[in-house]
Amino acid sequence: MTDVRSHQPVLGVLSGERPAVPPIWMMRQAGRYLPEYREVRAKAGGFLNLCFTPELAAEVTLQPIRRFGFDAAILFSDILVVPHALGRTVRFEAGEGPRLDPLDRVEDIADLPREADASVFAPIYETLRLVRRELKPSVTLLGFCGAPWTVATYMIAGKGTSDQAPARLLAYREPKAFATLVDVLVEACIDYLSAQLEAGADAVQIFDTWAGVLPPHEFARWSIEPTQRIVAGVRARSPGAKIIGFPRGAGALLPDYIERTGVDAVGMDWTAEPRLIRERVQSRVAVQGNLDPMALIAGGDALDRAVDEVLTNYGRGRLIFNLGHGIQPEMPIAHVERMLQRVRDHRA
Ligand code: CP3
């Protein structure tokens, strides 16, 4: 458990503070761009083995904190451990990304267990306990899950696709079955996030990576509504729980998303329109983001300009500096250091 007397800048921003220097972490900050990650990853064998071995998962969670001194550590795991705990086959193949047995028949959705197998999650909670013990009290430990819509897109197609056509199609053709799947995922997410908070997570993030492929009405139904139920369900068990939502690509629908879900902060990708965000989003909740990962790969002046733009756009309000999406394996470490320096030298 965190020492409540020590101040965490990330929790501070989530609770209404506006520090002169924004706290910073990076989505997918543990990963293949770090040589120390590749070493542990090789030792672990499969990717899921790494996720389910607490000592190794804790080690890779801590690596970016040791190297860069970020203000938050994010649990090392994956959003697809939830379908795994629902009895679906999940594999990660080198160079191919995740593979699941596709869930595209109404009968198979009806046969899903109503509850995830809690024993699958036990090593993940142990990872959180190990990490919290090692982290400085000022560093926030983030737990996470995938939002039902995004997890459903992988379960239905059995893999990542560029436009999530299989899930969109099933949601139109078989809305009842689709709603059943979403309901199962909502309940699993509430249990899973609540247990993460009990095991030592200081706040949690809900990743809705594929929210941006939905038209407004479907976005309300399949992204906002399930997220709102998760937020309410988690807070019923952990009153005051701090929750960050990340509906990637939501654009002009972000004001609706924050108003209706009740999240404490929202992640924005790099296409966000600054005035809309400042006036209708940042005026009510904290924002997190939104450096273009390509500017970080490019480095140099282009990176400096992109960092300054995020700070100019959002640095006077409640901001957690981050990328607009996850870091890429080819990211030069020196560029991450340059970004950090520039953010930390900044004064609002
Ligand atoms: O942020 C962190 O450092 C914590 C760990 C984390 C991972 N995945 C580790 C991972 C988190 C928070 C995730 C979330 C996740 N997983 C999302 C939502 C965020 C996003 O990036 O959009 C999604 C959609 C997934 C599903 C997933 N997992 C995909 C599509 C892939 C393949 C892509 C790739 O980069 O290979 C994964 C694998 C994965 N998850 C890796 C890591 C470090 C790479 C696998 C490896 O090391 O072999």
Mean pLDDT of successive 10-residue stretches along the chain, which has 348 residues: 71 97 97 97 94 98 98 98 98 90 96 96 98 98 98 98 97 98 98 98 98 98 98 98 98 98 98 98 98 98 98 98 94 98 89
Q: Does any domain span residue 76?
A: yes
Q: Is 99 in the pocket of ligand 1 (CB under 6 A)?
A: no
In single-letter form, the type of residue at position 197 comes to L
What pTM does this model have? 0.97
Q: Does any domain span residue 279?
A: no
Which of the residues are catalytic? 28, 32, 41, 78, 154
Q: Does any domain span residue 246?
A: yes
SS3 string of 100-168? ECCCCCHHHHHCCCCCCCHHHHHHHHHHHHHHHHHCCCCCEEEEEEECHHHHHHHHHHCCCCCCCHHHH
Q: How many domains does the chain have?
A: 1
- Ligand 1 centroid to Cα of residue 277, in Å, is 27
Q: Whose CA is nearest to atom 41 of ligand 1?
A: 31
Q: Does any domain span residue 332?
A: no
- Ligand 1 centroid to Cα of residue 76, in Å, is 9
Q: Of 36, 40, 43, 79, which is best to mutate to test ligand 1, by the most ligand atoms within 8 angstroms of its C-beta? A: 79
Question: How large is the greatest C-alpha to C-alpha distance in the chain, in angstroms?
Answer: 57
Q: Is 50 in the pocket of ligand 1 (CB under 6 A)?
A: no
Q: Does any domain span residue 229?
A: yes
pLDDT number for residue 323: 98
State the Cα–Cα distance between residues 248 and 268, nearest whole angstrom.
7
Which class for 1: exposed (0-12), middle (13-18), buried (19 or more C-beta within 10 A)? Answer: exposed
pLDDT number for residue 348: 65
pLDDT number for residue 1: 47
- Ligand 1 centroid to Cα of residue 97, in Å, is 9
- Ligand 1 centroid to Cα of residue 94, in Å, is 13
Q: Does any domain span residue 346?
A: no
State the Cα–Cα distance between residues 267 and 30, nearest whole angstrom.
18
Angle, vertex CA 98, rays to CA 96 and CA 101, nearest 5: 120
Q: Does any domain span residue 291?
A: no
CATH at 216: 3.20.20.210
| Domain around 70 | 5-265
Q: Does any domain span residue 115?
A: yes
